[in-house]
Chain A
Amino acid sequence: MIDKFKAKFVEESMDNVHDLEEALFLLEKDMNNKELIERIFRAMHSLKGGGAMFGFNHLSEFTHHLETIFDWVRGNKLAVSTDLISLTFSAIDHINHLLKTGDLTNDEEIADQKAFIQRVQAFLTLTDSPAQKAGMTSVEASGAEAAIATKTYLISFIPQPELLQNGTNPLYLMDDIHALGQAVSIAYTHKVPSLDLIDNTSNYCIWQILVNTAESVNEIKDVFIFVEDECELHVDQIAETNIIGKPEINVLIEKALQHNLLLTPDDFKSGDWNKVQTKEPEEKKKVVVKEHKISSIRVTSHKIDELVTLVSELVTIQAQLSLYAENHDDPVIGALTENIQKLSRQLRENAFDISLIPLQSELMRFQRLVRDLSKEQNKDIDFVIEGGDLELDKNIIENLTDPLLHILRNSIDHGIELPEERIAKGKSPKGTILFKAFHSGANVIVEISDDGKGMDTEYIRQKAISKGIIEADAVLNEKEILELLFVSGFSTRDTVSDVSGRGVGMDVVRRKIANIRGEVTIESQVGKGTLISIRLPLTLSIIDGLLVKVADNQYVIPISSIDKIYALDPAQIKQSFNNVVIIDKEQVPFIDLRKVFNEPQHQTDIVQMVMVKSEDKKSGVIVDNVVGEYQTVVKPLGRYLKKQEIISGASIMGDGTISMVIDTSRLLQSRKNIKVTG
Chain B
Amino acid sequence: MTSQDLTLLSFKIGEDIFAVDALQVNHILEVPSTITAVPNTPVFMLGIINLHGNIVPVVDMRILMGNEKTINGADTSIIVINPNAEQESRLGLLVDMVKEVIETNQSELTETVTDGKKGLIDTFEGTLCINEEFIHVIDIKNIMEVIEK
Interface of A toward B, CB cutoff 8 Å:
313, 316-317, 552-553, 596-599, 635-644, 646-647, 649-650, 652, 656-660
Contact = CB atoms under 8 A, between A and B. Distances in A.
B120 interface: no
Given A635-B54, A652-B53, A640 B147 contact: yes
A638 B38 contact: no
Contact of A553 (B37, B57, B87): B37
B49 interface: yes
B141 to A, nearest CB: 13
A597 B40 CA distance: 6
B41 interface: yes
A317 B54 CA distance: 12
Nearest to A313: B53
B39 A639 contact: no
A317 B89 CA distance: 24
A553 B36 contact: yes
A678 to B, nearest CB: 31
B38 A641 contact: yes
Contacts of B56: 638
Given A649-B55, A660-B38, 20 more contacts: A553-B36, A553-B37, A553-B39, A599-B39, A636-B87, A638-B56, A638-B89, A639-B89, A640-B144, A640-B147, A641-B41, A641-B45, A641-B48, A641-B57, A650-B36, A650-B55, A652-B50, A656-B50, A658-B48, A658-B49
B41 A658 contact: no
Contacts of B34: 657
A636 B86 CA distance: 12
A640 B39 contact: no
15 contacts: A313-B53, A597-B40, A638-B55, A638-B87, A638-B89, A639-B89, A639-B148, A649-B55, A650-B36, A650-B48, A657-B50, A658-B36, A658-B55, A660-B36, A660-B38
A597 B41 CA distance: 10
A553 B40 CA distance: 13
A644 B50 contact: no
A598 B38 CA distance: 11
B90 interface: yes
Main secondary structure of the interface of B (DSSP, over half): mixed
B57 A637 contact: yes
B88 interface: yes
Contacts of B40: 596-598, 644, 646
Interface in B74-96: 87-91
Contacts of A656: 50
B66 to A, nearest CB: 19
A637 B53 contact: no
A635 B55 contact: yes
A543 to B, nearest CB: 15
Given A642-B148, A644-B38, A636 B88 contact: yes
Given A316-B53, A657-B34, A658-B48, A638 B39 contact: no
Contacts of A639: 88-89, 144, 148
Contacts of B88: 636, 638-639
A640 B80 CA distance: 14
A361 to B, nearest CB: 27
A640 B34 CA distance: 19
B53 to A, nearest CB: 5
Contacts of A637: 38, 48, 55, 57
A571 B55 CA distance: 37
A600 to B, nearest CB: 12
B36 A657 contact: yes
What are the nearest 9 A-B pairs in CB distance? Answer: A597-B39, A658-B36, A638-B88, A650-B55, A635-B55, A640-B147, A639-B88, A640-B57, A652-B50
Nearest to A645: B40
A317 B50 CA distance: 13
B149 to A, nearest CB: 9
B93 to A, nearest CB: 12
Nearest to A597: B39
Contact of B39 (A596, A636, A650): A596
Contacts of B50: 652, 656-658
Q: Indicate the member of B36, B45, B56, B91 with the most A CB atoms within 10 Å.
A: B36
A205 B55 CA distance: 55
Nearest to A658: B36
Nearest to B59: A640
A241 to B, nearest CB: 69
B41 to A, nearest CB: 6
Nearest to A552: B37
- From A637, A640, A660, residue with most partner B Cβ within 10 Å: A640
A622 to B, nearest CB: 14
Given A644-B41, A652-B50, A638 B36 contact: no
Contacts of B54: 635
Nearest to B146: A640
Contact of A638 (B37, B41, B57): B57
A646 B39 CA distance: 10
Nearest to B34: A657
Nearest to A639: B88
Contacts of B57: 637-638, 640-641
A533 to B, nearest CB: 31
A641 B56 CA distance: 10
A646 B90 CA distance: 21
Contacts of B45: 640-641
Nearest to A657: B34
Contacts of B87: 636, 638
| Residue in B37, B50, B55, B57 whose Cβ sees the most chain A Cβ within 10 Å | B55
Contacts of B55: 635-638, 649-650, 652, 658
A548 to B, nearest CB: 14
A186 B49 CA distance: 69
Given A638-B56, A639-B89, A647 B36 contact: no
A643 B41 CA distance: 9
A239 to B, nearest CB: 65
Nearest to B90: A638
B8 to A, nearest CB: 23
Nearest to A660: B38
B143 to A, nearest CB: 10
A659 B57 CA distance: 13
A640 B36 contact: no
A642 B147 CA distance: 11
Contacts of A641: 38, 41, 45, 48, 57
A659 B54 CA distance: 12
B148 A640 contact: yes
Interface in B84-133: 87-91
A313 B87 CA distance: 15
Nearest to B56: A638
A320 B88 CA distance: 24
A647 B148 contact: no
A597 B87 CA distance: 27
Contacts of B49: 658
A649 B89 CA distance: 15
A346 B69 CA distance: 52
A566 to B, nearest CB: 23
Contacts of A658: 36, 48-50, 55
A598 B41 CA distance: 10
A637 B34 CA distance: 17
> Which of A636, A638, A643 has the most chain B CB atoms inside 10 A of its CB?
A638
B90 to A, nearest CB: 6
